[in-house]
Every structure is written in structure tokens, then in C-alpha cells.
Amino acid sequence: MNKKIVRFSSLLIAVLMVLSLCACGEEEETYDYKSPLPTTTEDILARFNEAVAGTKKGNPGISYSIDQGAGMSGEQKDKCENEYVKAAFKTVSKAITEESFSKETVYGDSTKDIFPTVGSEETPVLTNADVRSAYCMENKDDGTGATYIIVIKIYPEKDPNQTDSVYGKLYNIMDDEEILSNFDVVSNIVTVDSYSAQYGEGTIKAILKKDTDQLTELKLSRDVVVTTELKGQGTLAEDIGTVPLEFNYNSTENYSIDWFDPATRNAK
């Protein structure tokens, strides 16, 4: 009886050792992180707000660019039957989307005039009431370090401005005068006095370093439906008259953040 117990115990120990080795072999690689993965909307927004604030105040090097486009859907083209107006819109949209908005700062420069909220020392803060959804996922090390990816959706807004709208907290919104000035390229054909802009659901994508919670990339995407009226000028005043126009505008603002301090390059 004792021999049977000894044999069973030995077999059990051997099985446990094998299972232990298997478990070690299957263990996933782990990474250092400053803070655990946020899961609730409140925690995600808190992490995002802290990262944005740290960037605004930390003065890292920032590269900014914007990808943009403008066009008319089939339905919008059907609404606009005037060929002069369609031709004018092609000229305006080309002028708007080809203009370069890229800029950059070096480490230590003020971020006031390049990073949200642009032109202000204030740091943008998003609350639960501002967003439709928010989620965060972990991206394992791809050679540049493990990261958190935060994606936030904000509610649609009509005619938002830079000072008191949710879009204005982060997005770079041109004022009315600047937007209408884009139509100056065709002022001999048509003029535009006013417009209305319906912003759709905005998408914010932020990438944070997992070991420091620092922001390394920020993308702000938006889709806008612009509604306005074009008035014919000069000899075209009678041919065109006043024509309603609706078109789509989309853009993605890209921020690349570099936290490397050149002063430490030769530090030992």
C-alpha cells in the first residue's frame, strides 16, 4: 500500500512539474507601464486630458500637418444645376485643399501656437458630456516601445467656433472671415456672404507611450457639410443669380510629438 502511495505521489509531482514548465513556456511577454490600461470613459478621458496637458506644458518638439479634401456628392451635384457654379466650386476646392498648413516647433519652444487649444495657454479638457464614446487598447512593442491607443468620438456640432465649442477645444477652426476669404479666388465670377457648417461625429486618436503616459501622436479627423449661396458677379450676375450650394469638407490634423531633449545628447 505504501509503495502504491509513493508511486502515485512521484507521478503526481512529475505531472505538476511538466505543467509548470508548459505554463512558463506559454507566458506572454510583459512590458513596463506607468499606469494600468484605463477601461471606463471617465478614466480614458482623464488619461487623455493629462497627456494633452503634459504636451502643452512640456514643450516637446511638434510637427503639424493637415490632410484635407472637398467635394460634392451626387445628390449635392443634382441640387446645383448651374454649370458656372460647379466650375467655380472646383476652383475654390482646389485652392482650399492645396494650401499648406504644415508647421513645426523644436524641443523647448512654446506649444501655444501649434498645439490645441491653438493660440491659448489653456489646456483643452474633455468631459463625459462632450463625447459619444471612448475606448483604449494596448499595442505591444513594435520596436519603438509599447503604447496605448485612445480613440474618442465627439458629438456632431453646428457652426462650432474656437472659443466655446467641443470641437474648438481641440480642432483648429478657422473663423468666418478666413473661411469666406477662400472664395476670393473666384470673386470676379461669384461671391459668398455667409455659410453654415454642420460638423459630423469627430474622431480623436491619441497614441501614448506605455512607460511614461506621454503623448507621441495625435490625429483629429472631421467631416463637414457646408451650405451657402453663391451670387453671380459682373456679366454673370444675370446668368447665375443667387444659387444655393452644398458641399463636403473633410480633414485630419496630424501632430507628431518628439520628447527627445537635444541637451541630453552627450550626457553620460
* pLDDT tens profile 114-134: 999 888 888 899 999 999 999
* pLDDT of amino acid 192: 83
The mean per-residue pLDDT over the stretch 41-60 comes to 96
The mean per-residue pLDDT over the stretch 46-68 comes to 95
Answer positive or negative: Cα dihedral of 181, 182, 185, 189: negative
* pLDDT of amino acid 268: 35
Query: Is the pLDDT assigned to residue 166 strictly greater than 70?
Result: yes
Alpha helices in the chain (DSSP H): 2-26, 41-58, 74-79, 83-98, 166-170, 176-181, 237-240
Distance between CA atoms of residues 181 and 192, nearest Å: 9
Distance between CA atoms of residues 10 and 16, nearest Å: 10
Q: What residues are paired with 149 via a beta bridge?
A: 137, 207
Q: For residue 212, is the peptide bond before it cis, meaning its omega torsion is within 30 degrees of 0?
A: no
DSSP state of 108: T
Which residues, other chains included, contact 218 with Cβ-Cβ below 8 Å and sequence gap of 6+? Answer: 52, 55, 204, 205, 206, 207, 253, 254, 255, 257
Which residues, other chains included, contact 108 with Cβ-Cβ below 8 Å and sequence gap of 6+? Answer: 59, 261
Query: Is the pLDDT assigned to residue 196 strictly greater than 60?
Result: yes
Distance between CA atoms of residues 83 and 231, nearest Å: 13
* pLDDT of amino acid 266: 53
Using alpha carbons, select from 149, 154, 127 the residue that is nearest to residue 217: 149
Query: Is the pLDDT assigned to residue 107 strictly greater than 60?
Result: yes
Q: Are 112 and 120 in contact (CB under 8 A)?
A: yes
* pLDDT of amino acid 13: 55
Q: What is the percentage of the chain residues whose pLDDT exceeds 90?
A: 44
Query: Is the pLDDT assigned to residue 46 strictly greater than 90?
Result: yes
Name the pLDDT band for 50 (thresholds 50, 70, 90): very high
Looking at per-residue confidence, does 114 or 263 come out higher? 114
* pLDDT of amino acid 234: 80
* pLDDT of amino acid 2: 52
* pLDDT of amino acid 120: 86
Torsion of CA 83, 85, 87, 93, to 10 degrees: -150
8-38 in b/e form (b: 16+ CB < 10 A) is eeeeeeeeeeeeeeeeeeeeeeeeeeeeeeb
